[in-house]
Structure 1
């Protein structure tokens, strides 16, 4: 593949191996409800880490913290050696350029074409020329199987196609980290496989660090280097997918997997 997210020692995704994301003693409350309780975990560069667990266990909150859509009440968050929280706003903006996120509900601009949806942020945030941004967007649309949809508006696309546009949009920023938040949960069942196949291809053919929240256990088993089982704001169990799905050590993990598999 020729896109900038491919494995390439000169590309931005080919960061030196080692820790890329760290959360230390992170606590997040919403009113009287503690969603994350003194959470500690890290993600190494180039690794794919999947968060599983029941709804409300804090998984999506972690992604929202990394995107600075919400702030922790306590603790520190570090990305690529730089403090994301607490940190000055200018530093936060620079760190956010390294992070892309694909949401459950696409969040595309309905008044823009597919091509414009993908090029808008690289032009306005990264300062790319319109021509360079469009060339990158066309490569990414080919990657996600939508090279013939450049001039369409999102409303004319299926849900699965819209989500693939959202994936291309996130990749257009050349992120070091790609956050995936239940990216198939809003799709009709027959559209899920196509989106997951695109993400599998990205996981196998790029060095992007991926942090994924999903209830698609087969997908988690396929793409993960490590799986974290969450419950009530804590990591109950962590390990490679063959351990978590084949021989989980904790009763809570076994109980959850019996319910979803």
Structure 2
């Protein structure tokens, strides 16, 4: 990986430094180092089990690394600096750093007993401390943006899968994140509904300067929205480049084999 590529577009914003993650004897991430620049959109591709989703879960603090460090905008995520040395971070420190990150999951995970607008406003009110009026005004704006301005009072069960995922996107944006993580957000949808969601995300990519990490098998979408693509295999990055480079002229045999299999399936 070149020094310029590793540094990202606008300086390091997310930095993984020699990160290890194991589940029992299974090594998921192996001494992994990479960085993402501020405002950069990076897509992680590779076979199942290669560590892509684990990276997102580490950033969301849904699982902890077994070694190495992770930084978000110069702040360590799982460590703090005290007296010139790194020590394990307090829960308060982890929550503070993690509050700048949000994630749209593969499965929608909406609160079934809450109407759409309340699903979007729950975190801004109870986590960020926004007033109900402020949160609802922003929630309406976001739901309008994702094409659901007429569904404010619907329950999730009254929506299609694509509509539920668009609510999930609005909910993620409602906490005003610096980093948006997208984990196979269309894999549970049929092609028509997936296209609705991807169109929303394309618009979002065009109109926001958020840092974004995406895990997807939708290669056309990855080509459209990414500044960089990282190819993973067995817990490591084996190729890193622009979408044009990775999709048109991959250098690694494993990348070529993977892309052929994904394109054949689509």
TM-score (norm 1): 0.93
2:202 equivalent in structure 1? 200
| Structure 2 unaligned residues grouped into runs of 5+ | 1-8, 80-88
- State the shift of 1:156 in Å: 0.6
**SS where residue 34 of structure 1 aligns?**
strand
1:128 match: 130
Per-residue deviation, residues 194-244 of structure 1 (Å, max 9, x unmatched) = 100000000011101100000000000000000000000010100000000
SS at match of 1:38: strand
Q: Which residue of 1 aligns with 2:33?
A: 40
Give secondary structure in 1 for the equivalent of 2:63. Answer: coil
**Residues in 2 aligned to 1:203 and 1:55: alpha-carbon distance in whole angstroms:** 25
Distance 1:226 1:116 in 2: 35
Among 54, 59, 70, the residue aligned to 1:61: 54
Instruction: Give the count of matched residue pairs.
Output: 246
Which secondary structure state, in structure 2, belongs to the residue aligned with residue 75 of structure 1?
strand
Superposed displacement of residue 17, structure 1: 3.6
One of 210, 213, 234 as aligned partner of 1:211: 213
Q: CA deviation at 1:149?
A: 0.4
Give the equivalent residue in structure 1 for 2:148: 146
CA distance in 1, matches of 2:109, 2:71: 26
Question: Partners of 2:99 and 2:144 in 1: how far apart?
Answer: 23
Shift of residue 88 of structure 1?
1.6
In 1, Cα distance between the equivalents of 2:241 and 2:125?
40
CA RMSD of aligned residues (A): 0.9
Q: Cα offset for 1:95?
A: 1.2
Distance 1:146 1:109 in 2: 17
1:6 aligns with none
> What's the counterpart of residue 192 of structure 2?
190
- SS of 1:137's equivalent? helix
Pair 1:24 & 2:26 matched: no
- Using the TM superposition, give the Cα deviation of residue 120 of structure 1 relative to its aligned residue in structure 2, in angstroms: 0.5
1:161 equivalent among 160, 163, 166: 163
Alignment of 1:63-82 (within 5 A): 63-82=56-75
Runs of 4+ in 1 over 4 A off after TM superposition: none
Which residue matches 2:116? 114
CA distance in 2, matches of 1:183, 1:134: 25
What TM-score comes out, normalization by structure 2 length? 0.91
Matches within 5 A, 1:71-110: 71-86=64-79, 87-110=89-112
**Equivalent residue number for residue 174 of structure 1:** 176
Q: Distance in 2 between matches of 1:17 and 1:246?
A: 25
Distance 2:235 2:93 in 1: 27
